[in-house]
Amino acid sequence: MTATPTSAPETVATGDAAPEVREVIIIGSGPAGYTAAVYAARAGLRPLLFEGSVTAGGALMNTTEVENFPGFRDGIMGPDLMEAMRAQAERFGTEFVTDDVVSVALDGPVKSVTDGDGTTYAARAVILAMGSAYRELGLPDEKRLSGHGVSWCATCDGFFFRDQDIAVVGGGDSAVEEATFLTKFARSVTIIHRRDELRASKIMAARAHSNDKIRFAWNSQVTAIHGDAKLSGVTLTDTTTGQQRELAVTGLFVAIGHDPRNELVNGVIALDAGGYVLVDGRSTRTNVAGVFACGDLVDHTYRQAITAAGSGCAAALDAEHYLTALADAGH
């Protein structure tokens, strides 16, 4: 069932302008946001989706081959998957805004969202799908050398490290995937991991161990980054003995996980201790009526493209049910 549309565009005063009140606004792209848009659009909810001002499509835009998304026997490149999802959402009538959301007002029956240009949009329901951001090491000079040897995206920057000795920090699937991809360009890739074995899946770990270009620095943590204009090396500290040693590398790719992008709603929506948005049971309902959350913004357990897409579907269905209830109540 779909909420009954108004006979004429409804507006709500927000200062000088009175924007049309839409049914659904979706903040964030990626598998969760795009899937929510597909379902919301097919339900006739006229969704407006904010993709962001830099790169639409979320973390998968920085992913090489996605081998575990159902329906693609031979795998698919992350950007290609996101492009296909976006096109599908657009086909059913989703409208897109290529800008960042800078503020939200989520109380009351009508929510408002303001973008970087200062334009305010209004809707009865909001779906939060902001995803997650790369986690940093938190070391001095890390940000200063970002783009000058320090990176969080192998597919973006790997080409610039042809025939160089580089390193990847992390031990999960993302780190191993980055390292494997980087062997196409680099002379050698050292995986720096704080434990004595990889956390990656067996198939990914086997690929790393069988790759002649990949080396391992076990029980090691990067505790210092060196370089003037460009990265020249890192200090490794043994996590068991505390001994330090230097590793000369001209590239350092950080793949130690992600943190939820909750800046927009921190203090507005209930979060757990890890900063993830809290939802009601297995639903996508937040503690604010008419606000729903999905994808990596709520998932600190599975964190897969397919589970993000599934939760995006759930968010759209939950929003549809909410809007139907509003319409039935005469609001």
For residue 174, the surrounding DSSP H or E stretch is: helix 173-182
**What is the identity of the amino acid at 259?**
D
- Cα separations in angstroms, 139 against 8, 144, 221, 225, 237: 55, 10, 11, 7, 13
Instruction: State how far the Cα of 331 lies from the Cα of 320, in Å rounded to an integer.
Output: 14
Report how far residue 291's alpha carbon sits from residue 157's, in angstroms, rounded to the nearest whole number: 37
For 319, residues 6+ apart whose C-beta sits below 8 A from its C-beta are: 24, 36, 40, 45, 125, 127, 290, 292
Query: Which token pair is 284?
Result: 């996508």
Give the Cα separation of 181 and 157 in Å (integer).
11
What is the Cβ-side half-sphere exposure of residue 331, based on CA atoms within 13 angstroms? 15
Interatomic CA distance for residues 111 and 115, integer angstroms: 14
Element (H, E) at 105: strand 101-105
Active site residues: 153, 156-157
Contact (CB, 8 A) for 141 and 254: no
Q: Is the distance from CB of 144 to CB of 31 less than 8 angstroms? A: no
Pairing of strands 76-77, 95-97: unpaired
